[in-house]
Amino acid sequence: MKHFELKGQVRKVGNKAVVKAFRKEGLVPCNLYGPGLDNVLFTVSEKDLKGLTHTPASYIVDIVLDNGEKYMAVIHELQFHPVQDNCLHVDFLAVTEDKPIAINVPLNVTGHAVGVQAGGKFFLSKRNLRISALMKNLPDQIDIDITPMQIGSTITAGDIQVENVTVLSPKSTILCVVKATRQSAQAAQNAE
């Protein structure tokens, strides 16, 4: 999986006024936690954070703090402003190479469904899938070949098999489907 380096400045616990002052300066307050780690409070530039939040890709985040500390983490939770859509707060979860990591990975659809060529319409229900794996086994994306899909066919999370990866999304979660259209239904009636 790809890595993304994020530079941050250590901060102290503060009240709402302190946090508001950070946001006015274009800084986003962040929190890093994990097993065997005291909470680390820091801020990052909102501009730098957009490279991580405004992309469909998933990353292992290499956090480099101004006090010389370095951590590997994944995004655990993002809070956005309801109107302005800028990031207000980020929670990072520290990860290690020897323990499985749970993360959302984007889906990459390949091929051209047979059902679409027969007049059906393709719908992608999910853009990513929650998986768990060791860091060395994490894929950048999961490829789904939709070529054999007929009208009425679906691909669920339970159909996805990736070596050394456990799919955490519920097995019944529908990822994509080829549905019949009015034209394809009429063509099927006329053929009878």
Domains of the chain, CATH where assigned: 3-94 (2.40.240.10), 101-191 (2.170.120.20)
Taking only the tens place, the pLDDT of each residue in 158-177 is 999 999 999 999 999 999 99
Q: What percent of the chain has pLDDT over 90?
A: 63
Q: How far apart are the first and last CA of the chain?
A: 51
Taking only the tens place, the pLDDT of each residue in 46-68 is 999 998 888 888 899 999 999 98
Read off the pLDDT of each residue in 132-149 and give the average, rounded to a whole number.
92
pLDDT of 187 > 70? The answer is no
Mean pLDDT score of the chain: 90
pTM of structure: 0.79
Q: Rg (Cα) of the chain, in Å, rounded?
A: 22
